[in-house]
Amino acid sequence: MRARVFVTLKPSVFDPQGTIVTDALHTLGYDAVKNVRQGKYFELEIDAGSEEEARRLALEAADKLLANTVIESYRVEVESSTERSVP
């Protein structure tokens, strides 16, 4: 089973990297892009009996290691093997 974990800086935390990326996009003419927040994306291959168990493990991993909850928040999506799209 695959879990996707998205880690982003909390809205109240200044994101210097996102600011630089925003500036770069403006330099390229993408003035319509008003703001960029940079984050991290993880794909976890999990050996779990159910989607619920996979979700629980992914949430625990995110809370313990993948995110620093002082500055970051996280979101988990679980994709069961039957849902996986065929390339």
Task: Read off the tokens for 71.
Answer: 């500055």
Beta carbon of residue 81, minimum distance to other proteins (angstroms, whole number):
27
CA angle 35, 39, 42 (to 5 degrees): 150
Binding site for other proteins (CB under 8 A): 12-17, 20, 65-66, 68, 70-71
Least distance in angstroms from the C-beta of 54 to other proteins: 21
- Name the residue nearer to other proteins (CB basis): 5 or 78: 5
> In angstroms, rounded to a whole number, what is the distance separating the alpha carbons of residues 45 and 20?
33
Q: Closer CB to other proteins, residue 38 or residue 51?
A: 38
Whether 64 contacts 8, CB under 8 Å: no
